[in-house]
Amino acid sequence: MTNTFYKAFSSEQYKLSKNKEIFGVLLLPVVITFAVGLYIIYNVLTEGADNDGTSNPWKMVLGRPIFMFFYMLYPILVSLFVHACCDIEDKNNNYKILFTIPVSKSKIFISKALFILTTVWLSIVLSYLAFLLSGFLLSLVFPELGFQNYDFREVIFYVFLKFSITLSAIAMVQLALSLVFKNFIYPIGFSMFMLVFSGIVNEKTYSDFLVYTGGYKSYGNFVTENIAFERLDYCNIAAVFIFAAVSFYLFVNKKGV
C-alpha cells in the first residue's frame, strides 16, 4: 500500500511540476523580497538612512512593504497554481486516462493535495529565509539602519507560520473551486473578490470565518507584533481539513469522461 501511494505521489509530483505556475508561487515572493531589499539599499544611497533609531527597521523598513505585497499577491499566486494543477487533468480529457490506472482515486487525490500543500509550504519557507537573509545583509551593509539592534526572530517566525496556515486554507478552497469549474475565470475571480471583500470587512466579527482575511491580517500582525494564535487562525486550520474533505468528495465522484 505504501509503495502504491509513493508511486502515485511521484507520478503527481512529476506531472504537476511541469506547470510553469509552480515557479511563480515558489520564486516570485522571493524575488519581491530581494527587490524590496535592493530598493532600500538604493534609497539609503541616494537619500541617506532616515531611521531615527527609535523604530524597528525589521517592521517599518523591511516588513511593511513586503507584507503589503504578500497579502494581496500570494493568494492570487496560490489560486493560479492550484487551478493549473487541476487544469492539467481537464486538458485532453486526462481524467478518463487517470481513472483507468490501477490506483484508487483516494490515493491520487491525496497525492495531488499533498503536492499542492507541500509546494505552498516550501514557498513560504523560501520567502521566510529570503526575508531573514535580506535583514541580515542590510544589517551588515548599513548598520545605521539598526537591524542588528532588534531580535525580531520570534515575531517573524509566528507571522510566517500563521500566514502559511492561511495560504494552506486558501489552497484547499481553490482546489474545491477548480474541481467544479474548468474555466479559470471563476476560481481566480472568486479569489480576487474575496481578497477585496475580506479587506473591507476585516474589522467585523464574522471576518474570522473568511479564510482570505488571514492574508490581510498577516500585515497587521507583523506591524503590531502579534504572535498569538486567534480565532481566525483556528478557523483557517479547520478550513484546511473541511475543504480538503469537500475537494476529496468532488474528486472521487468526478466522472472520467
SS3 assignment for the chain: CHHHHHHHHHHHHHHHCCCCHHHHHHHHHHHHHHHHHHHHHHHHHHHCCCCCCCCCHHHHHHHHHHHHHHHHHHHHHHHHHHHHHHHHHHHHHHHHHHCCCCCCHHHHHHHHHHHHHHHHHHHHHHHHHHHHHHHHHHHHHCHHHCHHHCCCHHHHHHHHHHHHHHHHHHHHHHHHHHHHCCCCHHHHHHHHHHHHHHHHCCCCHHHHHCCCHHHHHHHHHHHHCCCCCCHHHHHHHHHHHHHHHHHHHHHHCCCCC
pLDDT of residue 148: 85
What is the C-alpha separation between 187 and 196, in angstroms, rounded?
15
Q: What is the pLDDT of residues 199-257, one digit of tens each?
A: 888 888 888 898 999 888 888 888 888 888 999 999 999 999 999 999 999 888 876 54
More confident residue, 3 or 233: 233
pLDDT of residue 17: 63
| Cell numbers representing residue 23 in the block | 515557479
Q: What is the pLDDT of residues 88-137, one digit of tens each?
A: 766 656 655 555 665 677 878 888 899 899 999 999 999 999 999 999 99
pLDDT of residue 162: 94
Q: What is the pLDDT of residues 5-53, one digit of tens each?
A: 666 666 666 666 666 767 778 888 999 999 999 998 888 888 766 655 5
pLDDT of residue 257: 46
More confident residue, 48 or 188: 188
Residues 6+ apart with CB under 8 A from 249: none
pLDDT of residue 68: 85
